A and B are shown apart, each in its own frame.
Chain A
Amino acid sequence: MPLRPIEYVAAKTVQEAVTSLAEKGDAARPLAGGTDLIVQLRGGRRIIDRVVDLKAIPEMNELTYNAQTGLRIGAAVPCYRVYSNADVARAYPGLVDAASLVGGIQIQGRGSIGGNLCNAAPSGDTIPALIAHSAVAEITGPGGNREVSVEEFCTAPGRTVLQAGEILVAIRLPAPAANFGACYMRFIPRNEMDIAVVGVGASVVLNGNTVTACRIALASVAPTPVYATAAGAALVGKEATEDNMNAAAEAAQAAATPISDMRGTAEYRTHLIGVLTRRALRIAIQRAKEA
């Protein structure tokens, strides 16, 4: 089925994109990789008059990493660029796990991390990983610039904190502490090309075998990705033992409000949260020890 007629604007600057989007309000939508947007337009799930392509804006394509200041990912940077960069892959293993399993190679060549966040699917794989890495969204709009932590960015399925005319410009991840490790994993019935039944992102900082910081976030278990603060807190100040990981996994289960649908029942999802939280923590801890 062809797309409804649309107007295509290739913005050259962030300001031009903001102006072009603000003119049309809800009838305009920014375009990065298009791997969600074009599907939604074709299926009639989103009806708009204008797409504003962000890919010609230099800032939107920047991927910069500095060991002191951290990582800045322009909102249109496709997934493959994140896992193709050796420095980034070393410093942000949880994000690399997620970027490597969004769709297949064709999707990763085009779909952006920023788009995955703005699409705000409860199952968006990169979102729990971004939360585990303490990422912050840089937003520009008609009213100026603001920043929102990624755990506060999604407000409902497909909805975000972005107001009319506002766009995500970049996602910033702080430089990892010494002895930092992270992991994202999901459960799907096949190996590739599927939507998470449950996804878990976890990060830890170790001092010896003691966990000094821990963040755990979940996908596909609530209307938005969930930052399970109590689950991370359950491990802080504790030894990285199986018993303590079990306590964190139970807290993660308690933070979720899963539904039953064609991908799994609520009970099954709750079980998976426990299993995946323990597994993701084990890998994050192992990576922290090797860091």
Chain B
Amino acid sequence: MAISKTHVRTTLNGEATEYLCEPNQSLLEVLRDVLLLTGTKEGCNDGNCGACTVNMDGRIVDSCLVLGVEAEGCKLMTIEGVATPEGLHPIQQAFLENAALQCGICTPGFIVATKALLEKEPSPTEARIRHWLAGNLCRCTGYDKIVKAVVDAANTMGGKK
């Protein structure tokens, strides 16, 4: 079946970004293979692990379960959009300081998911953090250090307001 590529216009990490993709390419494949933004990771590729989490129009989604063509007109944010030229985001800093990562494959997804939570709910409880991050799997840390990092980041970000 000959299918031509589709021209998709998005706002990616604050910049107008256009790409060509085939309808069977996932947003994850577009990010990594077309746009060469390899910060977003492929884990399970079926919506269980959250390694490919990106922010799409203000909601976190598994980019492996979105078609690239579905992002037409959408505002996307990936891990590449989290730090600034001035330095790491407080969430990234908190992950480093709390040793909330080991192999690092799950980390971009956790940070994108955490950012969405703290922008909505600046002081979540530990239970709320664990619930929010249930769609992100980590096989190294045992989660406690990640939860501590999120609490730490919430405190830091709250303190800057």
Chain A residues with a Cβ under 8 A of chain B: 1-8, 10, 31, 33-35, 38-39, 42-43, 49, 51, 53, 55, 80, 103-107, 109-110, 191-193
Contacts and interface: CB of A to CB of B under 8 A. Distances in A.
B30 to A, nearest CB: 12
A39 B61 contact: no
Grouping DSSP codes into helix (H, G, I), strand (E, B) and loop, the A interface class, with mixed when no group exceeds half, is loop
A236 to B, nearest CB: 36
A105 B72 CA distance: 22
A53 B78 CA distance: 24
Interface of B: 1, 3, 6, 22-26, 29, 45-48, 50, 53, 56, 59-62, 64-67, 69-70, 72, 113, 130-132, 134-136
A60 B18 CA distance: 27
Contacts of A106: 47, 50, 53, 60-62, 113, 135
Contact of B67 (A1, A38, A43): A38
Grouping DSSP codes into helix (H, G, I), strand (E, B) and loop, the B interface class, with mixed when no group exceeds half, is mixed
A110 B66 contact: yes
B65 A34 contact: yes
Given A39-B47, A109-B59, A192 B24 contact: no
Contacts of A53: 70
Contacts of A193: 48, 134-135
Contacts of B1: 5, 7, 49
Contacts of A10: 69, 72
Contacts of B46: 39, 42-43
Contacts of B67: 8, 31, 34, 38, 51
Contacts of B136: 104
Given A7-B23, A106-B47, 17 more contacts: A5-B3, A8-B6, A31-B67, A34-B70, A38-B47, A42-B46, A51-B23, A80-B59, A106-B50, A106-B61, A106-B62, A106-B113, A107-B62, A107-B135, A109-B56, A110-B59, A193-B48
Task: Give 10 nearest A-B pairs by CB, closest first.
Answer: A104-B135, A192-B134, A8-B23, A109-B59, A3-B24, A106-B135, A106-B62, A104-B134, A39-B46, A38-B65
B29 A2 contact: yes
